[in-house]
Structure 1
Amino acid sequence: MLKRIEQKKARRKKFYIGAILVFLMIISMLGILLGNDGGAQFEYNKFKFEVENNLLVTKINGEKKTFRFLPQELLSIKTPADLKQTLKEPMMVLTFDPGVGVQNLIYLDLIRKDFSDSFDSFVQSGITNQSELYNMPLVNCDNATQSIPVIYFNLSNETSITKDDYCTVFNGQTIEFLKLRDLTLYIYYGVING
């Protein structure tokens, strides 16, 4: 009889230990499921960034905006002091050489669309040379005026943004153009002071 009581106590003890382990596992799984907010978080200049679908997302004026690079990754790129003022002009023209190669054109088309969607300005596109692929007006830095500035995407090994009178030149290639895109939008939205 004593042996039976001890066996009963041992089974009860195993049951309680098992129940506690199951409870802890369930709580742990709930914590993981409910606490998973999509990934890493970063902060810059009071803006919080989260990683969603391999993009950096932050809220600006109540809207989600996506980027590929953190602001601090772009601070070493040279920019003109009055870039933000240029981006706030009521109208601007984005121009590029359509002969820069398909890979660069993919990036440039994406950036032109992003700028058109993001800026409060009326954004017109142009090309620097005739093209069968693009039916756009011919525009280069010579066409830039104070009231209609030109942003020229220039294929270059140096990644920078320079200015010549009313023409802002984005120097870069392929993925570097995306860095210039992010930097420009950060300045435009006030994430980076520029």
Structure 2
Amino acid sequence: MKKKDRAEKNKKILVWFILIIFVLSTIGGVVVYYGGSGSDSFTISSSGKNFRFKLETDNSGNQYYKVSSGRDEFISYYPPSQILLDVSEDTKSLLRDSAAFYISFDPEQPSLNVIDYLRYDIDYNLPDGKVSMGAVTKETSLYQLPVVTCANATAETPVIIFGISNVTSIRMDNDYCINADFSTSAALGVRDALVYILNGVEIG
């Protein structure tokens, strides 16, 4: 069982690595802002936990933060203080408190490679005990995923709808349904905001 789990984890890491290399060319690279006084590591306290940030560099020269808190680890690209999206407390609480959620999207919109990267990457960086499920908002032959819209959102299983847009925002327009809109150049900022919130880190 352990070998199977390890193989599955290694497979997810490989998929994540391939996707990030592929998508960074679309997004336009990664810019990392250093925390503290220019050091490559720092610690913040949030939600009663300490999160240690350590700057790392991948084989392609892209920099990112490896964040650890107890047994949980995740990756981010911007320090939380640099995420200036206005996300309501109700939205944050819904994401933090839910054990499972859907990420759904319109399969006919542009830049599906960016959305696919975000879906896999967010799933890979979730804390223990939290589950992300993929979905689409309409039937399509491109994806073998269930159709899930805001009508399916509940307090126990909220729905995040990804949309490519010129306006970047994360907002809850309907009960338990969150719209995350972004341009390809703003995708990593929205990705970081969601990963931080889901892991209990305050942004802004």
* TM-score, normalised via structure 2 length: 0.65
Partner of 1:15: none
Q: CA offset at residue 63 of structure 1?
A: 4.3
- The SS at the match of 2:154 is coil
Partner of 1:107: 114
Partner of 1:50: 54
Task: Please state which structure has a larger fraction of its residues in helix.
Answer: 1
Cα 1:135/1:129, change in 2 over 3 Å:
same
Could you tell which deviates more after superposition, 58-67 or 90-99? Answer: 58-67
Partner of 2:91: 83
Matched letter for residue 92 of structure 1: F
Partner of 1:92: 101
- The SS at the match of 1:83 is helix
Greater relative contact order (CA < 8 Å, ≥ 6 in sequence)? 2
Q: d(CA) in 1 for partners of 2:149 and 2:113? A: 20
Partner of 2:165: 156
Gaps of 5+ in 2: 1-37, 46-50, 58-62
1:145 aligns with 2:154: yes
Alignment of 1:159-170 (within 5 A): 159-163=168-172, 164-170=174-180
Could you tell which deviates more after superposition, 143-152 or 80-89? Answer: 80-89
- The SS at the match of 1:146 is coil
Could you tell which deviates more after superposition, 109-118 or 152-161? Answer: 109-118
The number of aligned residues is 153
How well do the aligned residues superpose, as a CA RMSD in angstroms? 2.4
Q: d(CA) in 2 for partners of 1:122 and 1:43? A: 28
Would the aligned equivalents of 2:80 and 2:203 in 1 still touch at CA under 8 Å? no
Alignment of 1:1-150 (within 5 A): 40-43=39-42, 45-46=44-45, 47-53=51-57, 54-74=63-83, 76-87=84-95, 88-101=97-110, 104-117=111-124, 118-119=126-127, 120-150=129-159
Q: d(CA) in 2 for partners of 1:122 and 1:112? A: 12
Q: d(CA) in 2 for partners of 1:172 and 1:84? A: 18
Q: d(CA) in 1 for partners of 2:122 and 2:139? A: 23
Gaps of 5+ in 1: 1-38
Q: d(CA) in 2 for partners of 1:185 and 1:132? A: 29
Q: Following superposition, which runs of at least 4 residues in structure 1 exceed 4 angstroms of deviation?
A: none
1:172 aligns with 2:172: no
- Of all paired residues, the percent bearing the same amino acid is 29
Would the aligned equivalents of 1:45 and 1:192 in 2 still touch at CA under 8 Å? no
Q: d(CA) in 2 for partners of 1:134 and 1:56? A: 31
* TM-score, normalised via structure 1 length: 0.68
Q: d(CA) in 1 for partners of 2:166 and 2:120? A: 23
Matched letter for residue 133 of structure 2: Q
Deviation per CA, 1:117-143: give whole Å up to 9, x if none: 315333221111222221112111122
Q: CA offset at residue 186 of structure 1?
A: 1.5
